[in-house]
Amino acid sequence: MDSSHGKHRKILLVEDEQDIATLVSMHLEDIGVQTTHIDRGDLALIEAAKPEWDLMILDLRLPGLGGLEICRKLREQGRQIPILMLTSKSSELDRVLGLELGADDYVTKPFSPLELTARVKAIFRRVELSQSAAQSAPERYAKPVRCGSLTVDHGKREVRLHGNSVDLTSREFDLLLHFVENPGQVFRRSELLDKIWGYGHEGYEHTVNSHINRLRAKIEDDPAHPMRIVTVWGVGYKLSEERAA
């Protein structure tokens, strides 16, 4: 049994097709992960509010409440639980919407159990790396980072602009934090996609554009003429060094 990434992990599996749920649970158990299966979206939303889950595997087409709506509501509530979506192979729009609403990854049906477990392990690795970084360099996160009138508190995952709280999704916060930690550095869309969204999102650079636009709407004094996160034409985006001073 390979439990190196699954030890003590608990996954909430939301899938209304029993055969798929049984298959997924069986393969996750092989890597030492404990799964709890729910087949209705409305019940899953209630269960996902509990703090015990390390990951949610979420089908899009569900009775009671759809997967996209569940994802949206959880992120609006500030729940940071990682979400792996199960989507139809033909439904690219759903995959894009899922990523933009805050899903961490997706697998298309029909899928290989080996691919699914690889995606689960990849999500766990990203979580572990993030936690390890915070623990190994606590002074880095001990106090908020100020970028002019913008304040980013990594420990509390809070952002303030002109002293007022700014409500960001998990992805928006991670994106802003990455810019704040690297002021003046230009990042291509593919680099941001790899850094913030991680494994398996090649070809979805337009998702970065959507998040940048929403982030600007929340942190720019004039989103139509951004001065904090600026476009470097033909390359990508950067945090203005003047605004980071």
Q: Per-domain residue ranges for the chain?
A: 10-135, 138-244
Question: CATH says 10-135 is which class?
Answer: alpha beta
Show Cβ contacts of residue 159 under 8 Å, excluding neighbours closer than 6 positions: 150, 151, 152, 153, 165, 166, 168, 173, 176, 219
Question: CATH says 138-244 is which class?
Answer: mainly alpha
Check residue 203 and give its pLDDT.
Answer: 59
d(CA 11, CA 102): 17
Check residue 3 and give its pLDDT.
Answer: 43
State the pLDDT confidence band at 21, using cuts at 50, 70 and 90.
Answer: very high
User: Tokens at residue 180, please?
Assistant: 């704040």
Bridging pattern class, strands 10-14 and 34-38: parallel
Task: Tell me the three state secondary structure of residue 154.
Answer: coil
pTM flag (> 0.85):
no
91 or 223, which is more confident: 223
Position 69 pLDDT exceeds 90: yes
